[in-house]
Structure 1
Amino acid sequence: MFGAGTPVTLRVSGSGRAARTRVELTDPDPQARPVPRRAAGTDESGRGLALLEAVALRWGVTQGYRTKTVWCEL
């Protein structure tokens, strides 16, 4: 049902005085919870959350009625 072509919303917020920038990505699939995993060297996917954990101060998922938002603070 979801995949290539699925509409998403990207929001970036912060101010010149804030020491953090918040990035939020919302998609219309509240059931698909992101789960960190170990990607093999030949895998074409599965590294997103590992990269997020490496660079973000913190991150999480906010569940909506018909959406979910994965967010992080940099």
Structure 2
Amino acid sequence: MTLPVARSVSGYEFETFEVDLAPDEREVRLDISYGVDLSDNTFGTISVHHALNRGNVAGEVESGMFIGIRTSF
């Protein structure tokens, strides 16, 4: 891909860059969730998440946890 990188009196200067759109590694993700009714109008949930090669970037690791309560009136 050729892109302009500078401007001079005679015009623009261009450089060629190689763009690789194929990911180096595939993302692998594991999500586990559990939900339970706490009462007639309240629901609780807990989730854990772990991803390897997050965003298809080799070596990126991401982990997380979510705890939630939902209530209706």
TM-score (norm: length of structure 1): 0.33
Q: Which structure is higher in RCO with an 8 Å CA cutoff and minimum separation 6?
A: 1
Give the number of the structure whose residues are more often helix, by fraction: 1
TM-score (norm: length of structure 2): 0.34
Structure showing greater Rg: 2
